[in-house]
Structure 1
Amino acid sequence: MRLAKTIRSAALILFVASAPALPASAANVEQGRRLAGLYCAKCHAIDKVSPSPLVIAPPFRTLHQRYPVESLQEALAEGIVTGHPSMPVFRFEADQINDFLLFLKSLE
């Protein structure tokens, strides 16, 4: 019993310690906005009011209603291959992922 509790505690500590820090600065959010404009705005609305240019592509401001945007971190690193049918495959670097996620969080 005590060993199981210790293992659960250690696993929780490792999980929390491995979670990336997302320092929220205006520069990071703006860089995320630039990435969204470059890679995503042809299909997705990347602001708080506009409709998506591609009807089947969800506006970024609604993504947090579907799932926590932090859950996109792994997909952005490995290359998103799902989404809407015409979505291209792309991969972000670690600093780009943090900036992009901060931008998405700013739309909530």
Structure 2
Amino acid sequence: MTHRLKTGLAFGSAMLCLSAGAGPVMAQPVDEIEAGRDLVEVNCGACHSVGQADASPHEAAPPFRTLSERFPMDALEEAFSDGRIYSGHPDMPEFIATPEQIDAIIAYIASLQG
């Protein structure tokens, strides 16, 4: 076995050990998307389409699957960075979310984009 291969294997093993200790962090993408889906279903689903094909109950509320057509995803991240989710639309309530909830909501919305 070459020195380069041994070094690569050692590094890979170390990363595996570190990631094993991080448990939930490594499982984050799927769990984060599911958490985001749950959050938007409860907090946004009364007005917005939050799925792949459903219609928005409120005709003026854009479906979440088309948000990237209106806003770049990084603009959503910046807009939500203070933990407040609000819009200029009078019907949309403001709610405050934790940074983890914001990350989950953005992960879910990003997962819907074509």
TM-score, normalization: structure 2? 0.68
Paired residues for 1:13-28 under 5 Å: 25-28=29-32
1:72-108 alpha-carbon deviations (Å, 9 max, x no partner): 2243334233243200011211111111110000001
Look up the match of 2:109. 104
Look up the match of 1:84. 89
Query: Take 2:106 and 2:28, find their aligned partners in 1: how far apart are those partners?
Result: 10
Contact 2:37–2:108 (Cα < 8 Å) also in 1: yes
Which residue, 59, 70, 73 being the options, matches 1:69? 73
Contact 2:48–2:61 (Cα < 8 Å) also in 1: yes
Unaligned runs of at least 5 residues, structure 1? 1-22
Query: What is the aligned residue count?
Result: 86
Which residue, 27, 33, 42 being the options, matches 2:46? 42
Unaligned runs of at least 5 residues, structure 2? 1-26
Contact 1:45–1:58 (Cα < 8 Å) also in 2: yes
Pairwise CA RMSD: 1.7
Structure whose alpha-carbon radius of gyration is higher:
2
Query: Partner amino acid for 2:41?
Result: G
Identity %: 37
Query: Take 1:46 and 1:83, find their aligned partners in 2: how far apart are those partners?
Result: 20
Contact 1:44–1:58 (Cα < 8 Å) also in 2: yes
